[in-house]
Amino acid sequence: MGKLYVRVDDRLIHGQTIVAWCPTLKIEEIIAVDDVSAQNPMLKSILTMGVPKNYVTNIVTTAEANDLLKEKSNKNRLVIVKVPEKLGELGENIRDCEQLILGNMAKRPDTVHKVSGATGIFYLSEADVKLLDELADKGMDIVFHQLPNASKVTWKAFKETI
C-alpha cells in the first residue's frame, strides 16, 4: 500500500515540489487540488510543464480529488492544496496521511497569525488554526516545513506561541 502525504502550499506544484519533496518522500503521484486551476487548461499546462513524466500528475477539483483519494493506491501520493480550508473539504480521504506539511502560505485578508523563522513565513487565519487543531486532535502529524532539509516547527510548538 502506498503512503499519502498532504502539503499546503499556495504555489501548488513548483520547483521545490519536484526537486526536493517528491524525491525525499518517494512520491509517484501528485494530486494538486484547486478548483480554479483544474478548470483552466492554461493553468493546468503551466503547473505541469516542469513535472517529469515519471510522476502521475493530476490537477483536479475538490470533488475529483475526493474521488481519486477514495481509490486505494500502491503509489506514494502527494496531495497539495493552496489553503488549509481545503483540507476540511477533503475530510476523511486524507485522515490517514503520513504527515500534513504546511509550506508556503501568503498573507490573506483573514490571516492573523504568522509563523516565521528558518523555514519561511506562514500566515494563518483563526479558521485555519481551528481546523488544524481539529486535525491534530484526530492524530494527524502536522508540521511547518519549507524544504525537506530545513528545520521544521511542529503544530504543538506553534500553538504554544499564540
Taking only the tens place, the pLDDT of each residue in 141-152 is: 999 988 899 888
Q: Give the global pTM.
A: 0.94
CA nearest 113: which of 75, 68, 90, 144? Answer: 144
CB 103 within 8 Å of CB 146:
yes
* Domain 4-159 grouped into CATH 3.40.50.10490: no
Q: So where are the chain's domains?
A: 4-159
- The per-residue pLDDT for range 14-62, each reduced to its tens digit, is 999 999 999 999 999 999 999 999 999 999 999 999 999 999 999 999 9
